[in-house]
Chains A and B, each alone.
Chain A
């Protein structure tokens, strides 16, 4: 063991692709930032270079595990990828994540993180065999789809290798591209960063171990494991079953605890017909989620669902391992299998107009999912797909695309919900300029929306933008659907900030909607202000969507953050301090999870399925895991403080990268539709999720106060930064005139 603590491996690899130099650094200087996301942001801060693009040589990319990754703690196998992101205006930093088995293997090999810097002249991949780390030529891999890449690297290294790679999208410098690992796990926004470095991927075999603190015994580890199993539910911490089960007092349609009578793993070699999945049966935890029926409907799911899957150390198994024979017989794919847990299926569905359950939808989602993953495309939490759907609905493509290109796209397939459409659609997006033929369509969808809109969210002529015309013309699109009249938009110039349908939520960042005002009013809205992309935060969802009656959820929320922390959806009340505290808590926990690493789609566990506990959970699980594994006794608050350090650093780095002292107005602004939707209703009226501008500004006031950020600008004050030992960040910002007085 290289360190006196359990958990951390002790070393970070720094790989310079320009010089081909590989070096090792100690992880110890990052312990105050925990690991994972904390290492990512600290490295990006330390190595900050002004005004560079994500695809410039000086941009660094950090792939990081945390002290818990590989320790076996429940749900601890996430990996965080941190770098500048070309989908975001200003190419600001974002963190993407994937699960699977990659970060445990990195830890078994002896590393907590890998920093990729520089640029290789020719395609390369990184081979890690414990302490033997080499840069290998990737000429034979360049151009391969993701699945063949995984096989090729595994063939070279050994069948037990864990591999992460970019696909053709990243290679073709498509901004909306991913970095993926085996099992359907993908991290968004950074595929082209690695593509620009000619970096194809990483293969790891780790024959070492993750140390557990000497003072910790198996009995203690198992006792905590059993305690967690006594409070954990299903995916997104649904703690009641979806349908009534004899052991359950409650059931709720919002819960993802779907496993029970009627659900069949029908594509298994011997179909598995589920029985009830009682909360206290530890040998049935993995059957609870069975999520395919949520996406495909029960009838289709029971045909195609082979088994659930997911990440190392997780009993919940939120992934769907699907078998659709038509993938081969009808659509000429090499395989009849596809694995995903959400956007891989939903993006094709959103793109095609959200058809109802049935064979067409099943084909769209499975075939589309295959192409998305094989090309390694990132939708930015659906943004690409929402644009596709809404622009098609509005007949915008005929205006935006050259006539010949428009005619070359098979719109008849689209209209018929024919999944054959998926091939050309995703291929255009994934190949961009390399596509054989005129491809403004694919290049527009893959480049990041912010590049194509003016300050009002109105579209430029996309051909002008893609042709690098210095002053692009406007596209001249208008709101022309009958339904636009209901929103008082008919006849107005089309703007993505006014159109609820494309789901842009954060106006400043052109960031996507992801559990925002439609989930938790102002709390959800505030969460969308902080990150530079969609927030990817489920801390609130894991409480508010748990399936317990509203009164119970409100009671838990009140006990945590104060009265009226959580309003019933579509019946919101005015902003208050409790909601600001709730929002801050969500973000701190989200950052904590991405640093430890722990799954934010399950944790925190505020509630439980145990009626004997009055359905209450335990918010201190993460700190208990951390204490046992590392041997460093750490309270919940102490661990949250470390996570908050990372969150504060993220904010400071965003300010630094933007060179923007006014975060309130230039980073934290929300789209007009958020306030102006449902014009016949007012904020607070039952039946609408619309927000109120003044109320949200109060929300920012209260949220900034909780965060210790300057009221006018939303920038962390020196006092706050110093409280978290980030005085160096205060100094840097002050030197540039970015720190509030």
Chain B
């Protein structure tokens, strides 16, 4: 269960040099608002203009154009659900938790027809576990980016990713992950229902909470 505080904290905690208007206490607890001291606000931490991609499973229609656009805009443009940094393929038919005995009751095209693509939450895990410190934050977009010059393709990030959206490229042996396309995400551009959108840390909470509901067994 993602809390507003956790999301915001994640965005702010590791981004030194951000600005947050409010008291430190309210920031850390997620309670109270910046309206409390309108006339006496002092900048403490600046919030990055960053965020994450989240899919609304209610209106995802399973076309996988997001995967396609992601493929086209990276590397040699070769198309592959393996190298795409958004994962639809693995959840498409039976939902995020694999083939259950009562598959007709679960998610996916063979179940209740809900498709639950997995997107990068731009969290800290991959950054934290990388033994080469090859993952850093893009100051402009807030995306966690792989520095290919440092990446050795060990696969630890892919293994530990909570969303399982990282792959190691079979040919280049580099970690492939969502980089928010330098601020103009290709997946969102091509989605025919607007199911996938970019959310700022603030606005993402409701979308992530909704997505989370689809990650459990029915």
Contacts and interface: CB of A to CB of B under 8 A. Distances in A.
Interface of B: 58-59, 61-65, 68-69, 71-73, 76-83, 89-95, 98-99, 103-105, 109-114, 170, 186, 189-194
Contact of A214 (B76, B82, B113, B192): B76
A286 interface: yes
Interface of B is mostly: loop
Contacts of B80: 108, 207-210
A310 interface: yes
A50 B12 CA distance: 74
A101 B63 contact: no
Most buried by B among A147, A159, A214, A314: A159
Contact of B192 (A160, A270, A282, A311): A282
A3 interface: no
A334 interface: yes
21 contacts: A72-B69, A154-B99, A160-B89, A209-B82, A209-B83, A212-B79, A218-B72, A221-B77, A222-B69, A222-B73, A268-B59, A285-B192, A286-B193, A307-B113, A313-B65, A314-B63, A315-B65, A316-B192, A334-B104, A335-B104, A337-B112
A216 B73 CA distance: 11
B88 to A, nearest CB: 10
Contacts of A269: 58, 114
A439 interface: no
A45 B145 CA distance: 53
Contacts of B95: 159
Given A159-B94, A283-B193, A207 B82 contact: yes
Nearest to B83: A209
Interface of A: 70-72, 101, 104, 108, 147, 150-151, 154-155, 159-162, 182-183, 207-212, 214, 216-218, 221-222, 225, 268-270, 272, 282-287, 306-317, 321, 323, 334-335, 337, 339
Contacts of A314: 63
B111 A286 contact: no
A272 B113 contact: no
A222 B190 CA distance: 9
Nearest to A162: B93
A286 B72 CA distance: 21
Given A222-B186, A307-B59, 5 more contacts: A160-B89, A283-B194, A306-B113, A315-B63, A339-B109
B178 to A, nearest CB: 16
A72 B68 contact: yes
B192 A283 contact: yes
Across chains A and B, which 10 residue pairs bring their CB atoms closest together, nearest first? A286-B192, A72-B68, A209-B80, A315-B192, A283-B194, A335-B104, A209-B78, A321-B113, A285-B192, A286-B193
Given A182-B93, A221-B72, A337-B104, A317 B63 contact: yes
Contact of B73 (A211, A218, A310, A317): A218
A323 B111 CA distance: 11
Contacts, number: 151
A308 B118 CA distance: 20
Contacts of B103: 151
A162 B89 CA distance: 9
Nearest to B114: A269
A284 to B, nearest CB: 7
Contacts of B109: 182-183, 309, 321, 339
Nearest to A310: B63
Interface centre among A71, A216, A218 (most CB of B within 10 A): A218
A318 B191 CA distance: 16
Contacts of B104: 147, 334-335, 337
Contacts of A160: 81, 89-90, 92-93
A307 B93 contact: no
Contacts of B186: 222
B58 A272 contact: yes
Nearest to A152: B99
Contacts of A221: 72, 77
Contacts of B68: 72, 313
A334 B110 CA distance: 12
In this complex, which of B65, B68, B82 has the most chain A Cβ atoms within 10 angstroms of its Cβ? B68
B62 A309 contact: yes
Contact of A283 (B73, B83, B112, B191): B191
Given A309-B62, A314-B63, A337 B113 contact: yes
B93 A287 contact: no
Nearest to A153: B99
Contacts of B92: 101, 160
A284 B193 contact: yes
Contacts of A212: 72, 76-79
B59 A272 contact: yes
A470 B190 CA distance: 62
A63 to B, nearest CB: 19
A216 B79 CA distance: 13
Nearest to B64: A312
Nearest to B81: A108
A71 B79 contact: yes
A308 B61 contact: yes
B192 to A, nearest CB: 3
Nearest to A272: B59
A225 B111 CA distance: 31
Nearest to A225: B190
Contacts of B62: 183, 309-310
B113 A218 contact: no
B113 A210 contact: no
A313 B170 CA distance: 24
Nearest to B169: A209
Given A211-B76, A286-B63, A309 B193 contact: no
B1 to A, nearest CB: 18
A312 B63 contact: yes
Nearest to B196: A283
A208 B113 contact: no
Contacts of B98: 155, 159
Given A154-B94, A209-B82, A314-B63, A337 B192 contact: no
A209 B63 CA distance: 17
Contact of A216 (B58, B77, B170): B77
B93 to A, nearest CB: 5
B79 A151 contact: no
Contacts of A150: 93, 110
Contacts of A161: 93
A135 to B, nearest CB: 22
Contacts of A217: 77
Nearest to B73: A218
A258 B109 CA distance: 23
Contacts of B81: 108, 160
Contacts of A283: 191-194
B99 A209 contact: no
Contact of A159 (B72, B90, B105): B90
Among B62, B81, B90, B92, residue most surrounded by chain A Cβ atoms (within 10 Å)? B62
B25 to A, nearest CB: 36
B78 to A, nearest CB: 4
B89 A72 contact: no
Contacts of B112: 323, 337
Interface centre among B80, B90, B92, B114 (most CB of A within 10 A): B80
B61 A317 contact: yes
A269 B211 CA distance: 12
A228 B68 CA distance: 15
From A104, A284, A286, A309, residue with most partner B Cβ within 10 Å: A286
Nearest to B68: A72
Nearest to B87: A160
A313 B103 CA distance: 25
B93 A154 contact: yes
A278 B42 CA distance: 46
B113 A309 contact: yes
A283 B190 CA distance: 7
A310 B64 CA distance: 10
Contacts of B59: 268, 272, 307
A309 B62 CA distance: 6
Given A218-B72, A334-B104, A337-B111, A309 B93 contact: no
